[in-house]
Structure 1
Amino acid sequence: MTMVHIATKAISRKAGQSAVACAAYRAGDVLDDAKYGKTHDYSKKSGVMSSDIVLPFSLKALGVSVDRETLWNTAEAAETRSDSRVAREWLINLPHELSEEERHSLAINFAQKLCDDMDVIADVCIHRPVMKLPFDPNVPPSSKYLREDEENPDPRNFHAHILVTTRAPTIGPNKTLAFDPKLKTPFEWSNKKRKAHDLPSSMQEIKRIREMWVDTANKVLAEYHLPLMDARSYKDQGLDQQPTIKMGVEATAMERRGITTEKGNTNRAIKARNNLVADNHIKQEADNERRISALRKGLAWATEKNARLPGSIGGTKQRADFAKHLSGSSEYYITYCTKQSHRTAIRVDDTKRCVEEAKSGIAWAAKQCEDLPKRCDDTKQRINDTKQENNKLTQRIDDTKQAIEGITEAIGKSNIEINKATERSARPAPSPFDDDARRARAARLDRQEGRIDRDTRANRFEDERIFEYAERMKLHLAMRLIQRHREAMAINWAQGETAADAPDKFDQRQVALLSEFAQRHGIEDHDKAVEFTAHLRQVAKRFDYTLVENNKAIIKLLRDPNAEREQYLALTKHFTDFRDNIDQKRAAFNTSIIDKLGGSAGEVGRMTRDIISSSSYIEGLNHYINNDSHSVEARDVAKEYLADTLDKTCQQFKLALRDVNSLPPTQRKTYSEALKATLETFTEQYGKELSESQHKALQGGLESYKHQVNKTHSPSRGFSL
């Protein structure tokens, strides 16, 4: 599978960044920065394969063109705040299996989709794999990058930096480029503003763009019959693979210099573990194929054996009964054929849907072209409105000047009156060396210093109080985590205790989640050899800011298990209702086929009817699991229930095959044939998903069936007188 990597970050003045500098670095270019009065020269940067400016279709249709320096200086000039986001970068990993031209075409195609989708301008720079060499004082600085003919440990790292604007472009006079100073693109809005405009959250938008990148790349990969990308996580793909952690700049540099780091060791251990799991998976696949082959041989043997049996099972009368059974069971086979036709119809509908989506895209593009004159008129209208606002502003300035002149004149008259009053009173002017005024000023400063001291002491006390509360909370969380298995923390199901009786205790699912969290972070349970208080404080230190921020769900679970449980039940209630519905349908179907099988046949008959309806039942569960509209929690519960259903069905096969020969002759044949036919279908559909123990259950049931058949038809060895 081709690797999927797409990430985004903001270029912000708050972080001391400049859009012009970032564009020059990524393009390996020389750009003049008008705002800061600098020249950014990265012309000696190696590894840059291409750099292109991509405009949205609306600007291309108007014949607008712009160079890199003008683009990013204009983008910088449109921002007035000191903490503005001046650009945004999308970093994508390009498939190394493609040629240079194909990678360039793919990157430009995706950037064009970004521009049209977000109404922005993109600067696309493609970089080849380049690794910095370890520091060597004997090597000149100009040789710090590998040449193209030098060996690179990872030649797959072809990637593209797509720098996009944060404001929608507009057309100024003479088709010059400008940006709307009043409105950022919707992607840069806060989640609160996006929600007010009925837009999805930023995280959901990033996921949508990730899927758009994967779809764009897969179309190209499919043309060359290369492995496709998959935007889903390892968990959603059903792969037992663990993702590596991010190394960071410092750890990566140390590893390049030959210094072993903790993060590097962790990633090496994860990769070794993933390789071992993959090898075991391949081995398991081979074992499954071997077991399925053995089961098929067993079925063929049983079928041949029954065909040769005389009398009660293999005779002419029984073949007639079997024909009647086939006639009576025609509805079952018709249903099966109907399902196959339904699947074909679904594929046809999917194809039609793809065609309709393509037509919709063409219609959208046509509508965009039709809207171009209107957008030009809107731009002209905005320019006229701006001119009117400028005229109004000029008028206000003139009015303000007149008001200032009137105030100045009034002040002059007031000064004349004040001077006259001063002359009449003949009072001496206050001395600047007046002791009373100096003492009053000193007293005012003392009061201000006292107030500052009081505020400082209050803030220090508040900080200490918050710190003490945080420490107590960390100890509380650590204690609940390391004592999660104890009776005081976990619900005692063995004694009949329920979540309603003890809402503040952890249930079995929550204990499993906490155990997985503790194992992942290396938090061990209390060792009796270590003092409990010391171990508690050691675990409490692990609850730092990073751990709490990255594991908010676990922290919420530790603080309030009942609230987390209610939220989980609310999310999984949809599957509970769905399961009850399909259980009712399954029970009705099982009842409807009793007469066709020749009677209820007791417990063996009940298990056989469950086995016959298991395929459609499991198919319904798989359909629910693959429906992305359901919550992740509900689908996870459905996966667990599916695993239990498969295990239960294998055990029913084992018991039913073992006891089917104990049925009366009138029922034995129909139930035996139904079990064998269903077993063959079941192993073909789900054999690769079964575990070793489940395969053993099927094999054991089949062997018991063979033994009973052989025992029934073996000659008697009684004594004769």
Structure 2
Amino acid sequence: MTMVHIATKAISRKAGQSAVACAAYRAGDVLDDAKYGKTHDYSKKSGVMSSDIVLPFSLKALGVSVDRETLWNTAEAAETRSDSRVAREWLINLPYELDEYDRHQLAINFAQKLCDDMDVIADVCIHRPVMKLPFDPNVPPSSKYLREGEENPDPRNFHAHILVTTRAPTIGPNKTLAFDPKLKTPFEWSNKKRKAHDLPSSMQEIKRVREMWVDTANKVLAEYHLPLMDARSYKDQGLDQQPTIKMGVEATAMERRGITTEKGNTNRAIKARNKLVADNHIKQEADNERRISALRNGLAWATEKNARLPGSIGGTKQRADFTKQLSRSSDNLIAYCTGQSHRTAARVDDTKRCIEDAKSGIAWAVKRCENLPKWINGTDERSQKAQQRIDLSKQWVTANTKRAANSESIAQDIHRDIAERAKAAPSPFDDDARRARAARLDRQQGRINRDTRENRYEDERIFEYVERMKLHLAMRLIQRHREAMAINWAQGETAADAPDKFDQRQVAQLSEFAQRHGIEDHDKAVEFTAHLRQVAKRFDYTLVENNKAIIKLLRDPNAEREQYLALIKHFTDFRDNIDQKRAAFNTSIIDKLGGSAGEVGRMTRDIISSFSYTKGLTDYINQDNYPAEAREVAREHLANTLDKTCEQFKLAFRDVNSLPRTQRKTYSEALKTTLETFTKQYDGKLSESQHKAIQSGLKSYQYQLDKVNTPSRGFSP
């Protein structure tokens, strides 16, 4: 598994820090500090592989650019307090398995997400593994740092320092950069203020950013089939691994010089212990795989043999038949033992108790086997819900396979035991046979108990995951309108820029779903966590099963969007085709109408061609073999076309009298003739607003016509 490390800290004046100095050090640059009148020169710093300024999309769209010195001097100037936070740093460990280009792109992409999510500007500096050598007067200053290929305590330590502003950027005169002097970004608010604005705590926000980093990195790692990151702790992952302790700067420096420290010894002991546990786990997994393979082969053999039994209708009927045979044999055995009671009453009582225990134990086992199909179906449903968690799914599949194999093994043992007991009953005075039966039942009971414990433990883990998933779905549903969840079209954001956000169509679907199920948005009078848990409770099995499309949308809006676009692509291609034909027809009738006639002529030609256009849309909608989603989009497009045509009638009639006399008559007649045909064709199908639009245009046309024909009133001489 690839190492996960992301940490954040504030750059504060209270700690004697300067944003300009920090930026110069991390970038290995020379920057002038206007506030303190200093020049910070770190141009000789080694290990800096790249340094980039990343702007939020809203600034990029306006064509704004800024250099590092201007950025951080402006950020310093925006702060007036002596203890202000002037910047914030995010430190991330980059996967050493990637090459230099992919690491750079990964850091830039994550920084872009931070900028767009928090509305800040980021300064991204990537460092390679570098260790400062011990002081040696005979070594020149230029050789005090290791270069590529030299020995290093940890050659995997590629990392990025992402320095972000603490205030949202604004645009000043001439597209100059400025910062809002009255408001910090929400990430810098106190927990009290965040709670008052219905925001999660700062710790929860850090966890969210951590998950954002892991998701961003895993997309790149998955492309190269590399081990993925996991943001959870060892405990949450179910791993028997102990985390190492933090060394600190001094202990790390001593260890690099060859001086052992107490912290170093502790970490070495932890690593040795973890390696031993991991090796044992790998060995145990190999043994389990071998056992599972053997059990699968046995299960296949038993299934094949069961299929060959004449008149068999399944394992449940066989178990019922065997149980009946066992009951008859047990009754015969009890009768025999009762008839011999005058010889050894005490031994008969013991035998009867053993037989009763055996009957109850076997009946319980048979009933458990009958419930196996229900367990397997339940496991399949849970596995379907956990598809996105590949690591957990692998564990579940392994556990379920083992459970099924063990259960089938138990069933086979029960069948064999039933078959043996269905034979002629042995003498109740045969101590060896009685002890063998008792030992066999003990072994059977032990296996059933172990299987029960494993099933209960697995069910508890799955239940915890399901509860977390329900909270996640509820969170995304009630925050669907938030900027962090919905694509901000007003700022020019697109689905390509934010594939994990909801578009307008998806937000409308989620709102309709919430309204249909009585799920209200968060009320400020109710605590957010309480409201979230109330909504999460609504995601029971029935709701999820009946709304699989909505659940898929909540979990992965990009996948749902791609599927939707693929379904409506058939109509998109059809619409482009008829749009081209309509444009060609409109061009062909310009000369017949006496010229283009500007905007009035364009609208009139659109009105004339609307008949064939709407007919084509209607024919498309009536094709049952086309995708339902595509036909639904066609219905919406037809309704919009009718609205647009009615509005064009209104505007064309209003302005047709303003045309030159040579064109006025032609276009007026064309509009009147077209309106008559349009009214007959769509009589009773137009809405009230559409009728009003057409009548408004006619009234305006008639008014101007009457005004022209009315003789002017002059004064008599």
Normalised by the length of structure 1, the TM-score is 0.48
Q: Which has the higher contact order (CA 8 A, sep 6+)?
A: 1
